[in-house]
Structure 1
Amino acid sequence: MIETTLNDAPRSQTSLAYEAIRNDIIAGVHLPGKKLKIQDLAEELKVATGAVREALSRLVPEQWVISRDQRGFSVAPLSMEDLRDLTDLRCEIEAIALRRSVAHGDVDWEVRILAAAHRLRAMPQPEPQLRDGVSIADWVTRHAEFHAALVSACDSRRLLALHGQLYEQSERYRILSAFGEGKRDVADEHQKIADYALARDADNLVATMTEHIRLTTELIIAAN
């Protein structure tokens, strides 16, 4: 829960509301299709209704929220067709970002990958039947840090922003599927990805990452 004071500037409240609503959509707190009532959100987040309205408007072009005339705002729906389209685009962007990182990465980049891989490996992936909000949130954070570290040497700010947006949209599908990813050794997949990155083997890195992403999509589709 985000708390603000009455002295917060409107822009600051808008940013707080934006982050809170967006994070709750990614985490599945606000489910697909849910109507987002401005007054209720303002009371929950302790911000002005105008800040919530502006935050929701910012989330529309990013495809987290949809707006319909006379019907207000609601959480963007999910579909398997959209997931396939998202996966195809993500794989293409991931390949470009990874190749640029391999080309421009230095020792600091390698350290970031090693550290992120170690932190992720030290935290077992949550099982659907043992689902716990805190442990899932922690694992999701470590997982995001690992994928971000891999492309962190990419020399394009816009490409990194697009990469991050596509990653978060993909996470929304995976989280709402309760990590139902079947029988796979995710830790081993992550280790192979890290090894290829550190070996500067761009071809195998891209191929392994693509397989990793597409397998997740296939398992999500199979579970729905």
Structure 2
Amino acid sequence: MLTTSITLNKRTQAETACDLIRTEILDGRLTPGAKLNIKALEERFELSLGAVREALSRLGAEGMVIGESHRGYRVAPVSKDELLDLTRARVEMECLCLGQAMRHGDVEWETRIVAAAHRMERLQSQTSDVEARSTKPWNDAHGEFHEALVSACPNQWLLRMRHMLYEQSERYRRLSVPLSTDERDVRNEHRQIMEAALRRDQASTFAALEQHLLATAQIILRSPLLQGD
């Protein structure tokens, strides 16, 4: 019993460390290319050294961090080529999952989408657009909206791959929020995707989704963030 308890505690600590580090990477508190001091992370999160090391190993498998031989870990850098490849892959995977979801979705699927969209819009209406899209509640609502869209897809392997691409692209999306000077109506972009999906209009849904994802990529590509890359 004691051995089982110790094992569970270690796994829980590693999962906690993984979630905390991933969140800081996505939020930009750990910037692209930054060196990760394992000892400092251990002390800041008040977790064991082993848990932090295991978390970094897991995040390396996710592509969030990169390991350097005899030099520890760094936050994965961002690049123009990766962004373009990632955006293309995500468009393909989102559309693949969404197509299946539209074929299998029922009223519960529709209700989940509408509820997620409503929550996102309400959060955006409480403050400025950019401020709202920089907060954890809106980021969570945004993730729930895109997950709701594909939730009726019956293929769990496709959903797992889609989730991995979403988390990678989320890092770029959050970097894009303070960069945007465009007159971009993100609320309307989400509404167009939702309405087309509820109509089961695949062509319109896929077109709206692709335009939505490419708009984010273009903001970053035009910004100083990737200049000289």
Same fold (TM over 0.5): yes
Deviations 1:192-224 (A, max 9, x none): 111011111112111110111111111221123
Change in 2 beyond 3 A, CA 1:178/1:187: closer
Distance (whole Å) between structure 1 residues aligned to residue 97 and residue 84 of structure 2: 20
Partners of 1:75 and 1:166 in 2: how far apart? 17
Report SS of the residue matched to 2:67.
strand
Which amino acid in structure 1 is aligned with residue 106 of structure 2? D
- Alpha carbons of 1:126 and 1:174: their partners in 2 closer, same or farther (altered >3 Å)? farther
Shift of 1:147: 0.7
Is this contact kept in 1: 2:100–2:153, CA < 8 A? Answer: yes
Deviation at residue 180 of structure 1 after TM alignment: 2.7
Q: Is the 8 A contact 1:11 1:51 kept in 2?
A: yes
Cα offsets for 1:143-175 (capped at 9, x unmatched): 111111100101111211211221121121121
Q: Does 1:58 align with 2:58?
A: yes
Q: Matches of residues 14-163 of structure 1 in structure 2 within 5 Å? A: 14-124=14-124, 126-128=128-130, 131=131, 136-163=135-162
Contact 2:100 2:154 in 1 (8 A): yes
Kept after mapping to 1: 8 A contact 2:132/2:138: no
- The one-letter code sitting in structure 2 at the alignment partner of 1:84 is L
Question: CA, structure 1 residues 208+104, in 2 after alignment: closer, same or farther (shift >3 Å)?
Answer: same
The answer on whether the counterparts of 1:87 and 1:213 sit within 8 Å (CA) in structure 2 is yes
Deviation, 1:69, is 0.8
Q: How many residues were matched structurally?
A: 216
Gaps of 5+ in 1: 1-5
Higher share of residues assigned helix: 2
Alignment partner, residue 3 of structure 1:
none
What is the distance in 2 between the residues matched to 1:107 and 1:177?
Answer: 34
Q: 1:126 to 1:32 in 2, by over 3 A?
A: farther
Structure 1 residue 177, shift from structure 2 partner = 2.9
Please report how far the alpha carbon of residue 38 of structure 1 lies from its aligned counterpart in structure 2 after TM superposition. 1.1
CA distance in 2, matches of 1:45, 1:58: 17
Does the 8 A contact of 2:101 with 2:154 survive in 1?
yes
CA shift digits 1:46-84 (9 cap, x unpaired): 111011001101111211010011110110000111101
Q: Distance in 2 between matches of 1:36 and 1:127?
A: 32
What letter is aligned with 2:169?
Answer: S
Structure 2 CA distance for aligned equivalents of residues 63 and 84 of structure 1: 16
Describe the shift of the 1:117–1:32 C-alpha distance in structure 2 as closer, same or farther (beyond 3 A). Answer: same
Describe the superposition over 1:90-117 as per-residue Cα deviations: whole angstroms up to 9, x where unpaired. 0000110110000110110000001001
Aligned-residue Cα RMSD (Å) equals 1.9
